[in-house]
Amino acid sequence: MLKISASNLNALFDRIAEKQTLYIPVDREPNVSEYKKYESGMTMSKALNTVRSAKDFFFPQTENLAEFKVSGKTIEVKDIRKENEDFVVFGVRACDARSFGILDKVFLSEPVDSFYKNRREHGTIVTMACTRPAETCFCTTFGIDPTVPGGDVSVFFDGENYFFLDNTPKGEAFVASVSDMLEDGDASKLAEVQENTRNIMKKLPLSGLSTDSFGGERLMEHFNSDKWAELSESCFGCGTCTFVCPTCQCYDIRDFDTGNGIKRFRCWDSCMYSDFTKMAHGNSRNSQLERFRQRFMHKLVYFPANNNGEFGCVGCGRCLSKCPISMNIVKVMKALEDK
Amino acid sequence: MNNDTLIPLIGVVTDIRQDTPDVKTFRVNALEGGKVFEHMPGQCAMLSIPGVGEGMFSITSSPTNKEFMEFSIKKCGCLTTWLHAMDVGQQITIRGPYGNYFPVDTELKGKDLLFIAGGIGLAPLRSVINYVRDKRDDYGDVQIVYGSRSKDDLVDYKEIIDEWTADPNIEVDLTIDNPQEGWDGHVGFVPNYVKELNPSTNKTVLVCGPPIMIKFTLAGLKELGFTETQVYTTMELRMKCGVGKCGRCNIGDKYVCKDGPVFRFDQLDALPDEY
Amino acid sequence: MQEAMIKRAKELLADGTVNRVMGWKKGEFAYDTTPAVFETAEEIDRDFIYNDFTQANQSKYLIKESRKEGKILALLKPCDTYSFNQLVKEHRIIRENVYVIGIPGGPKIDIEKIKAKGITGITNVKNEDYTLKIETIYGVETMPFYEAVSVKCESCKSKKHVVYDELIGEGGDILDSNRFDMVEKLENMTSQERYDFWRGELSRCIRCNACRNVCPACTCENCVFDNPKSGIDQKAAADSFEENMFHIIRAFHVAGRCTDCGECSRVCPQNIPLHLLNRKFIKDINCLYGEYQAGADTTSKAPLTDYRTDDCEPSVVHERGAE
């Protein structure tokens, strides 16, 4: 397998960044990482994952859709779309890599969302196998193997070298473009590293969590569960879980008067917000219980009902770490699952 | 890049009709004349005034109308207030058509039809009614029961009187909630009127109106012997994208914008009561 | 401490003094706790927890809870009592429907500070004489307790309970805290440095609204940012400056009412030190109108809502604020 030594990783980054924009996870504070546009000298974070998910690359928090020029009774629509430039995201974990597949099912199904597709087509995902999962990890619940992270190129670290395995034509092109910096290496240690990580996964506190009790066929039963009141009682309706979630994709469309025309943009929205379903004459989800229920029903029941049983969660654990009141999908699943 | 449904087209308001004190019907044409796009009865479109907002509205005109589209809109919130303030010639943005439609070519074909509408609920049904009138031979008996708060609140009253009641092939039964000077027709709520009329249970029913009216009408129909598989309605929830992606108009696993807005009551029964 | 609280809570439930208990519920891990209302002794025995991780300020929940049937027991840390008092003063909490037990407060520890040390796979955290023994699936780690103290407890303003019906444990005093040190540091920056500092911090905001929704001073029924009629409603910044405006406007809105409970910074998923904005206001109010602590009592008039003829003139506010 092609490899590069850890000491040469930054030289590789410099090379990639010569041709296209490169994003890598960088520590903002010790072990608190975020994706940053690579500039020479930056060090890739050793933290397990970024605070925000990688969905931002394809579904940014705000994105302009169109511009309007209004004068008198006439309106002019301006299509502001431009072909995106190629970019590389390096160091995506298996959970986030899976999340792109989930977002694809929403945005690439008919009618295709051209804004998302544009970014998706121009982005190369280079993933990184996990070796030190956290207690909040439960990707295996959704059939994800964090030691085989996927994306366009999978990268594996054996403690000394990074090994590259391309998974797609885009990945193949990427590896080819830097192949002169890579050398053939002995990947025999990798299997051991992977086996070790898989064993750790089995020992994690959430390793036993199962999706068996969920899916589209349990819709009415879970919707009508009497557990929601207790689960949602302390939820104060912020959007933290939604916004750190790699698969949450609900959005709002709003207009902004720039003073020189109207900018129509979309932005992340959260079903946890009180105005999410509010209309001029009423609201279909008036209580926080209903809004809370919607978020989890969507991931565990509605999404699989519409997508051949695939769940809308990848077990990244971000909501477990970030919910201000520590209420999260794991607690919901444990409360609702068959005893 | 291909067209994106989120980037709207431009429509011109070519006629505005004040139907009731709070309902206006807007005629919309493409800039170059004709319709902005084709649709089927029951489908919707996103209308917007940039800087004010965007909203989903039922297309009131029949697809058989080849010249223009119409929207009957009740003044209710910010956007509709703005729309009501428009003059003829105003351009708006429009995108669609969105959603499914009443199964005029399949399940409804050859059937005796009973339309039941309350207030602005006539808007989506008007499209089907005129479609059926234009393809009259494809359908059996047609009966329309329509009620509103008062005579002045009957949407499209002129068309109802001039065209529908004058049409020997359809039966029109109007009612208003309370007695009113100059009204010698029926007085009473729609659900009760339907029960009084005691329509034949072999009819297929299309109902639209305020949620409370729909609820009591359905209960009444059941008393008369109708089953839920015979009754269709059309739903309205908050929408932003219109194509099942923005995530807010779902009832259970169904998106009203994409899987609806037309549902048969047995389908709604299988979904959570969250609308 | 947890045992004493459980014992007393069960007694008060049993003798009918209260019909509910507001507390914290244990979670999946040793460190995650969720505010919860308990209705029976069994629920309390099963789930109630009070430990180094029970940071959440429960006062805001009491707005809703104090409007329900019967009386609820609130277990308030010293800092929580300030928020409680302020909400009583603003007629948001109905005082007679709450039985308040003052409980010892922090310093609480923040699991993120432990994780920031690179410690992961945490299965248990024990406080052994102010050394944290952290059990992980990768082995046992230790770190000094004080290195893991949460931001909100780092500069604790008071160990005194300003309102209570009874106390468990000892009462404390108002502390001579260092809470304005960072504000002074910011004041001493050049305006460009200060602008860069806040741009750096606030540009990370993802507008999750956690700071607003957790804030005991943010209790508007309909927030201006959610109200389409306000003209400034927004969910996400339409341009890069708007995200700053959200926090600045929020800081203005809670000025004079913010008790400095620190919840905004605790809940921020992006670790933005939002409490510093509020502290700047507190410091300025102290400087311009004399020492004032929101929530210290339920009767005194707040400086920003009380006009006095010797109030600082607007023209000299700038000068005096800058000292």
pLDDT 10s digits, A19-36: 999 999 999 999 999 999
Q: Which residues of B touch A218 (CB under 8 A)?
A: none
Phi, psi angle pair for A67, to nearest 5°: -125, 150
Count CB neighbours of A215 within 10 A: 17
Kindly state whether residue B1 falls inside one of the protein's structural domains: no
pLDDT higher than threshold 50 for residue A91: yes
Same domain for B119 and B228, yes or no, is yes
Side-chain half-sphere CA neighbours of B177 within 13 A: 9
**Does any CB of chain A come closer than 8 Å to the CB of residue C124?**
no
Segment B80-93 shows an average pLDDT of: 96
Q: How far is CA A230 from CA A236, C10, C54, C191, in A?
A: 13, 20, 19, 48
Chain B contact set for A73 (CB, 8 A): 87, 89-91
Nearest to A81 among B1, B92, B271 (CB): B1
Q: Examine residue B256 and state whether it is found in any structural domain, yes or no.
A: no
Cα–Cα distance for residue pair A102/B245, rounded to 1 Å = 12
**Residue C233: other Cβ atoms inside 10 A:** 15
**Which subunits sit against B, judged by 3+ Cβ pairs under 8 A?**
A
Whether B9 sits inside 8 A of A77 (CB atoms) is yes
Nearest to B72 by CA among B17, B33, B129: B17
Domain count, chain B: 2
Is A219 an 8 Å CB contact of chain B?
Answer: yes
Residues of B with CB under 8 A from a CB of A: 1-2, 4-10, 50-54, 76-78, 80, 87, 89-93, 236-238, 240-241, 243, 245-253, 270-272, 274-275
Cα A321 to Cα A10, A326, C110, C111, C117, distances in angstroms: 30, 7, 11, 9, 15
- B143 found inside a domain: yes
Q: What is the pLDDT of residues C218-268, one digit of tens each?
A: 999 889 888 877 877 888 776 666 667 889 999 999 999 999 999 999 999
Nearest CA in chain C to A27: C116
Query: Is A104 in CB contact (< 8 Å) with chain B?
Result: no
Neighbours of B23 (CB within 10 A): 25
Inspect the interface and report whether the beta carbons of A321 and C36 lie closer than 8 Å.
Answer: no
Picking from C31, C124, C206, C233 by the largest number of A CB atoms within 10 A of its own CB, the best residue to mutate is: C206
Q: Which of C222, C252, C219 is nearest to C88 (CA)?
A: C219
pLDDT tier at B157, thresholds 50, 70, 90: confident
- Nearest chain A residue to B245, by CA: A106
What is the β-pairing status of strands B91-98 and B9-20? antiparallel
| Closest partner CB to B91 (pick from A74, A279, A302) | A74
Query: What DSSP state is assigned to residue C305?
Result: G
Residue A264 contacts B, CB cutoff 8 Å: yes
Residues B82 and B121 in one domain: no
The widest CA-to-CA distance across chain C, in whole angstroms, is 65
Residue C209 touches partner A, C-beta closer than 8 Å: yes
The answer to whether the pTM exceeds 0.90 is yes
Least confident of A214-223, A286-295, C170-179: C170-179
The distance in angstroms from the start CA to the end CA of chain B is 37
Chain A residues lying within 8 Å of B36, measured CB to CB:
none
Question: Is the CB of C120 inside 8 Å of chain A's CB atoms?
Answer: yes
**Closest listed residue to residue C21, CA positions, set C29, C11, C13:** C13
- Do B118 and B229 fall within a single domain? yes
Question: C295 and C82 in contact (C-beta within 8 Å)?
Answer: yes
Q: How far apart are CA A199 and CA C10, in angstroms?
A: 44
Closest CA to B124 of B168, B156, B172, B161: B156
Rounded Cα distance, B255 and A233, in Å: 27
State the DSSP string of B49-109. ETTTEEEEEE--S-TT--S-EEEEEE--SHHHHHHHT--TT-EEEEEEEES----TTTTTT
CB proximity C213 to A under 8 Å: yes
CB-CB under 8 Å, C120 with A48:
yes
Which residues does chain C have within 8 Å of residue A29's beta carbon, measured at their own beta carbons?
Answer: 116, 271
Rounded mean pLDDT of A199-206? 95
Res A257: pLDDT = 87
The answer as to whether B225 is a domain residue is yes
Sequence-ordered list of residues with C-beta below 8 angstroms from that of C56, at least 6 positions apart, any chain: A324, A325, C24, C33, C34, C35, C263, C266
Give the chain A residue nearest C35 (alpha carbons).
Answer: A234
Mean pLDDT of all residues in C261-286? 95
Question: Quick check: is B55 in a domain?
Answer: yes
CATH of the domain at B226: 3.40.50.80
Q: Which residues in chain C have Cβ-Cβ distances shorter than 8 Å to A236? A: 60, 213-214
Q: Which amino acid is at C68?
A: K
| Smallest Cα distance from B65 to chain A, Å | 25
User: What pLDDT, on a 0 to 100 scale, did the predictor assign at position C316?
Assistant: 67
Q: What is the mean pLDDT of residues B101-113?
A: 95
CA neighbor of A331 nearest in space, from A136, A152, A183, A198: A136
Q: Do A265 and C33 touch (CB under 8 A)?
A: no
* Other beta carbons within 10 Å of B107: 14
**In terms of CA atoms, which chain C residue is nearest residue A255?**
C238
Q: What angle (nearest 5°) sits at the alpha carbon of residue A119, between those of residues A124 and A55? A: 80
Minimum Cα–Cα distance from C28: chain A residue: A331
Structural domain includes residue B107? no
Residue C322 clears pLDDT 70, i.e. is over it: no
Mean pLDDT of chain C: 92
The answer on pLDDT for B152 being more than 50 is yes
Predicted local distance difference test score (pLDDT) of residue C240:
66
The phi, psi pair for C200, rounded to 5°, reads -60, -45
Q: Is the same domain home to B135 and B229?
A: yes
Q: Could you tell me how many CB contacts below 8 A there are between chain A and chain C?
A: 129
Average pLDDT over residues A38-44: 95
Closest chain B CA to residue A255: B51
Helices (H), chain C: 2-14, 41-47, 61-65, 78-89, 111-115, 151-154, 181-187, 191-202, 210-214, 242-254, 263-267, 275-289, 314-321
Task: Please tell me the predicted confidence (pLDDT) of residue A279.
Answer: 84
CB contact under 8 A, C239 and A256: yes
- Cα(C190)–Cα(B6) distance, rounded to whole angstroms? 45
Q: What is the pLDDT of residue C323?
A: 45
Nearest Cα to Cα of residue A232 among A299, A318, A302, A328: A328
**A252 to B246: CB separation less than 8 angstroms, yes or no:** yes
Asked if the bond preceding B168 is cis, omega within 30° of 0, the reply is no
- A228, pLDDT greater than 60: yes
Q: Residue A263: beta bridge partners?
A: A67, A256
The pLDDT of residue C318 is above 70? no
Given a cut of 90, whether residue C170 has pLDDT beyond it is: no
Measured between CA atoms, the residue of chain B closest to residue A275 is B238
Q: Which residues of C touch A233 (CB under 8 A)?
A: 36-37
User: In b/e form, how buried is each residue of A160-181, taking b as 16+ CB within 10 angstroms?
Assistant: ebbbbbbbeebbeebbeebeee
A285 touches chain B (CB under 8 A): yes
Q: Is residue B271 part of a domain?
A: no
Say whether pLDDT at C311 is over 90: no
Same domain, B125 and B227: yes
- Worst-scoring range by mean pLDDT, A33-42, A183-192, B243-252? A183-192
Q: What is the 3-state secondary structure (H, E, C) of chain A?
A: CEEEEHHHHHHHHHHHHHHCEEEEEEEEECCEEEEEECCCCCCCCCCCCECCCHHHHCCCCEEEEEEEEEECCEEEEECCCCCCCCEEEEEECHHHHHHHHHHHHHHCCCCCCHHHHHHHHHEEEEEECCCCCCCCCCHHHHCCCCCCCCCCEEEEECCCEEEEEECCHHHHHHHHHCHHHCEECCCHHHHHHHHHHHHHHHHCCCCCCCCCCCCHHHHHHHHCCCCHHHHHCCCCCCCHHHHHCCCCCCEEEEEEECCCCEEEEEEECCCCCCCCCEECCEECCCCHHHHHHHHHHHHHHHHHHHCCCCCCCCCCCHHHHHCCCCCCHHHHHHHHCCC
Q: Say if the Cβ atoms of A52 and C206 lie within 8 Å.
A: yes
CB A135 within 8 A of CB C123: yes
Query: Which pLDDT belongs to residue A244?
Result: 96
For residues B155 and B199, membership in a common domain is answered with yes
Domain end marker among B66, B98, B130: B98
Q: Return the residue matching tokens 């389409």.
A: C228
The reply to whether C208 touches chain A by the CB within 8 Å rule is yes
DSSP state of B5: T
Contact B253 A220 (CB under 8 A): no
Reduced to 3 states, what is the DSSP secondary structure of residue C112? helix
Percent of chain C with pLDDT over 90: 80
Average pLDDT over residues B123-130: 94
C42: pLDDT strictly greater than 50: yes
pLDDT at res. B2: 79
End position of a domain, from candidates B234, B252, B267: B234
End-to-end CA distance of chain A: 46
| Cα gap A228→A231, rounded to integer Å | 5
Q: State which residue of chain B sits closest to A272, comparing Cα positions.
A: B248
Task: Note the pLDDT of residue C177.
Answer: 85
Contacts of A216 in chain B (CB under 8 A): 253
Identify the bridge partners of residue B175 per DSSP, sorted by sequence position. B147, B186
CATH of the domain at B21: 2.40.30.10
Are residues B78 and B141 part of one domain?
no
Is B207 within the bounds of a domain?
yes
Mean pLDDT on B71-78: 92
What is d(CA A138, CA A142) in angstroms, rounded to the nearest whole number? Answer: 8
Q: Tell me how far apart the terminal alpha carbons of chain C are, to the nearest angstrom.
A: 44
Q: Tell whether C45 is within 8 A of chain A (Cβ).
A: no
Question: Is residue C21 within a helix (H) or strand (E), and if so which, with residue range?
Answer: strand C20-26
- Residues B135, B219, single domain; the answer is yes
Residue C131 identity (one-letter amino acid):
T
Q: Which of A79, A252, A269 has the CB atom closest to B7's CB atom? A: A79
- CA-based diameter of chain B, in Å? 60
Residue with tokens 């092609």: A2
CA torsion angle A203 A27 C179 C112 (round to 10):
-10
* Partner-chain contact A204 C137, CB within 8 Å: yes
Across B119-227, where does the E strand assignment appear?
142-148, 170-176, 186-187, 204-208
User: B200 and B117 share a domain?
Assistant: yes
Contact of A115 with chain B, judged by CB distance below 8 Å, is answered with: yes
What confidence tier does B104 reach under pLDDT thresholds 50, 70, 90? very high
What SS3 class is residue B19? strand
Task: Look at the alpha carbons of A171, A177, A181, A182 in this order and tell me if their dihedral is positive or negative.
Answer: positive
Q: Which amino acid is at A5?
A: S
Longest distance between any two alpha carbons in chain A, whole Å? 71
More confident residue, B212 or C76: C76
CA angle B132, B134, B136 (to 5 degrees): 60
Q: Do A31 and C36 touch (CB under 8 A)?
A: no
Tell me whether residues A113 and B4 touch, CB distance under 8 A: yes
pLDDT of residue B59: 96
Token pair listed for B112 = 């005796």
CA–CA dist B77, C75 (Å, integer) = 44
**By CA distance, what is C123's nearest residue in A?**
A135
Task: State how far Cα C223 lies from the chain centre.
Answer: 19
Q: Compute the count of residue pairs across chains A and B with CB atoms less than 8 Å apart.
A: 129
Task: Report the amino acid identity of residue A277.
Answer: T
C61/A61 Cβ within 8 A = no
Would you place residue C314 in the very low, low, confident or very high pLDDT band (cuts 50, 70, 90)? low
* Smallest Cα distance from C11 to chain A, Å: 23
Cβ atoms of A213 and A142 within 8 Å: the answer is no
Residue B153 structural domain: 113-234
All residues of chain A having their beta carbon less than 8 Å from the beta carbon of residue C34 are: 234, 325-327
Examine the domain organization and report whether B91 and B118 are in the same domain.
no
